[in-house]
Amino acid sequence: MTTPLAQRLTRAIERGGAIPVAQFMAEANAHYYATRDPLGTDGDFTTAPEISQMFGELCGLWLADLWLRAGSPPAAYAELGPGRGTLAVDALRAMRAVRLEPPVHFVETSPVLRAAQADRLPQARWHDAVASLPDTLPLLVVANEFFDALPVRQLIATEQGWRERLVALGEGGFVPVAGAQRMDAAIPPLLRDAPEGTIVETSPAAAAVAAEIAARLADQGGAALFIDYGHSGPAAGDTLQAVRNHGFADPFADPGERDLTAHVDFTALAKEGRAAGLKVFGPVGQGEWLNGLGLAARAASLAKAAPHRAHEITAARDRLSKPAEMGQVFRVLAFVSADWPAPEGFG
C-alpha cells in the first residue's frame, strides 16, 4: 500500500474506521481514470467502439433515424464517458450522411482522456457533470460502458441480518468486512431471506445520473442510449470486479491502479425513465440490437470495400454480436421523449 491513494485510504480507515465499498470504488476509479488512458492493447481493456467502426456508426444512425422522424429539430449530441472519442467520431460521421451535424458535448472528468478526445474532436465542449449540458435543445445522448464504473453499494447477508459491506485494513492490505448497522429495510422483499453470504448491490450514483438525463429529455426532448453489461434486477450476486492488463484482478488490491466495475441494474435505470414520463425501450442484448440495425449488412459492405480486411471485419462483427462474446451480457436500454417516435432495434 505504497501509492498516494492507498496511503490516503489507509489513513482514512485508521482515523474513522472501515469505509463503504462505494466510497472505495469511487476514489479508486477517480484516480484511475484521471491518470491514464486505459484503452487498447497497451491499456487494461477494450470497448466496443475500439473493436470496430461499425458500433459507433450504428449508434449514430440510430440517433439520426429518430431525429429525422421527430422532424429534424436543432439538437445537441452528448456522450457520457466518451473514452478516446472513437464512438463519437464514428457516430457523427454516420449522422452527417443525413445532414445531422449537432454540436458535441462530452461529460468527462479525466484530463488524460479529455486530451485524447480533443485531438479527434477539437470542436467539442467538455463538462464535469450532466448538469451543465445544454438546457434548451433536444439531447441525443450516448453512454457506452459508463454506468458500470459508477460506485455500487454492497449489502451482505450475515447471521445477524443484512449489513453494508465495508472496506477495512487486514494483514495483507484492504479487505471487505460486514458493517454493524442493520440494513434489512434496504433489501427488496424477494431477497431478504437469501442465505448468509449473499450480496445485493445498488448504485444510487447510477440512478441519480439516469434520473437527471430523464428529466432533461422530458423537458427538452430527445433520446438516450445506454449500453453496458448488466442484468435486470432485483438480483443477488457480487459483481464487483477489477481488470488490469486485459485480465481479472483483485478489486481490493492497489486501489487506483486497476479499473473497477460492477454489473448495471437496467431495471433501476428504466425506473427513472418511466418516472419522468419517458418512453423506455429494452433492455435487449447488444447483439440483438446491432443485428436489428443492420450489422451484418454493414460488415458485408466494409468487407467488399476492403477484401484484405474481410477476416478482421467478420471477427469484429462476431465479437460485438455473438451471445458467447459481447452480444448477450451487454445490454441496450433507450429513453425517448414522450413526443418522439419509437426507435429501431427493440423489436
Using DSSP, how many helices (H) and how many strands (E) does the chain show? Answer: 11, 16
Domain residue limits, the chain: 31-150+203-238+254-336
pTM for this prediction: 0.94
User: pLDDT 10s digit of each residue in the chain, 347 long?
Assistant: 578 999 999 999 999 999 999 999 999 999 999 998 888 777 888 899 999 999 999 999 999 999 999 999 999 999 999 999 999 999 999 999 999 999 999 999 999 999 999 999 999 999 999 999 999 999 999 999 999 999 999 999 999 999 999 999 998 899 999 999 999 999 999 999 999 999 999 999 999 999 999 999 999 999 999 999 999 988 899 999 998 888 889 999 999 999 999 999 999 999 999 999 999 999 999 999 999 999 999 999 999 999 999 999 999 999 999 999 999 999 999 999 999 999 999 98
Burial 85-96 (b: 16+ CB within 10 A, else e): bbbbbbbbebbe
CA distance 274 to 324: 31
What lies within 8 Å, CB to CB, of 296 at 6+ separation is: 317
CATH number of the domain at 31-150+203-238+254-336, please?
3.40.50.12710
Q: Burial level of 18, CB count in 10 A (0-12/13-18/19+)? A: buried
Torsion over CA: 146, 149, 151, 152 (sign): positive
> What single string gives the DSSP state of each residue in 182-217?
E-GGGS-GGGTTPPTT-EEEE-HHHHHHHHHHHHHH
